[in-house]
Amino acid sequence: MGALVRRSSTQYVMVLVLAGTLAIGGVRPALAEQLPTLGGAGGGLLSSQQEAAIAEHVMRSLRKTMPVLRDPLLEDYLSSVVYNLVPHVQLNNRDLTLVILDDPAINAFAVPGGIIGVNAGLFLHAETEQQFVSVMAHELAHLSQRHFARRMEQQERAAPMALAGMVAGIILSAVTRSDIGLAAIAGSQALAIQNMLQYSRLNEQEADRVGLEIMAKAGYDPDAMPRMFGQMLRRARLQGDRPPEYLSTHPLTESRVSDTQNRAAQYPKGSRGDSLEYHLMRARALVKYAQSASDAVKTFEEQLEKPGSEKNAALRYGLAIALQADNRAEEAIGILQGLLEDHPGHISLVVTLASAELTLDKFEQAADRLEQALRRSPGNVPLQSKLAEVRMAQNRPEAAARLYEKLTRNDPQNSQIWQRLADAQVESRNIVEVHRARAEYELLMSNPERAEMHLREAINRAQGNLQVQEALRNRLQEVLARIDQSGER
């Protein structure tokens, strides 16, 4: 059990326990049919309710103990990639929760109940968008094939509810790098579950095959998957006893790379080329994990000096971000304005330019820029998030609160937005809404008793507003019911 929970400091998300069913049509080369499909209608021991409970526990623990990266641009990009793929994967639950962890290692994960995420390091190591997508397609394939649930069926001697509880405990321990979930695990049964968490060669082959098919149907180049695998295998050789974390639960061999390459060759190359957006997001990650901002500036400047690179938008964008991080926002603004002339209205460029203007207290310019962009793209999350920041800087907390309220409706699982909404309501002196927002934040952070306290205080403060009091009382009843069911009190 200890080996599973504490293999390394970054292996906390490699418990890829998976849910869903698959029925993919479309391109099916003969070679793909030679590998038997392990999926189907099974996986009955892990019910959808149990999957949802596991996902909720894991997500709350992630929020509370792990460095979740809240970058609206990166989150928006990940969402767009996943939802380009999801229509080609038939899942029981398409209500997915996406998360990015602040870690430079290669990793991706999927958890029962629809949690899918990556380490930000995947942007560093996937040199092309096609390679990045290949990892996500592989994870969705594991999820859709219900590999974990099928392995549970092999453990027929275990009671389903007890087994699901132990699974949740192991996931929590592995994901959070702590003993938070160990109390849920019975020692004599932990080994059986540990074995289930390790994918078999057939599981991996099936996920490769189905992932390739997902990529082909979505219009991406399936050949990117063996290229990405080969790149990881080369890195594993260079690192000796410390291979990329992604390979710890996804064993990779030359024969598997070769097999995937042969299968990929049976598909068309795909109509989707790399998007500019991916390379902009990769530049953001490269700056974030550079040794210093000045090092990042130097790296991008050297790249731009190479013949033919002076017009490379991603390199120019990376330099602008690095300059801003190096307290040279005025220089960054000049580069970003030039990029927007080449790519009018590009949302990531607009948000980044507004961020640089905000750094220099150019509040009106930033606000006007963001408002114009929102008229073109109503409801865009990165634009709304940045505009809310600007409104707070302008000492307009009521306007910021309205934006944050919209964002909470769009993403009620985002604890950071609830926290910022509470801050805006404090500045607005709207005490009832301060407590309401703080209650939702505490609930997401696994503090239901604090959530209950804030809701009761909000009810007391809302004297005379019967409609608001009724809504708060209904929410309080939901919180109390959850506490009673889960024993969180």
Binding positions for Zn(2+) are 138, 142, 204
Extract the tokens encoding 32. Answer: 């793909």
Beta bridge partners of 110: 116
CA angle 229, 235, 240 (to 5 degrees): 125
Burial class (CB in 10 A: 0-12, 13-18, 19+), 488: middle
Per the CB < 8 A criterion, the answer to whether 220 and 212 are in contact is no
Catalytic residue among 139, 213, 452, 457: 139
Backbone angles phi, psi at 39, to 5 degrees: -80, 180
Per the CB < 8 A criterion, the answer to whether 175 and 58 are in contact is yes
Burial call 420-454: b when 16+ CB within 10 Å, e when fewer: bbbbbbbebebebbbbbbbbbbbbbbbbbeebbeb
Q: Given CA atoms 43, 48, 52, 54 in this order, what sign does their dihedral have?
A: negative
Annotated active-site residue 139? The verdict is yes
Catalytic residue among 56, 76, 129, 208: 208
Catalytically annotated residues = 139, 208
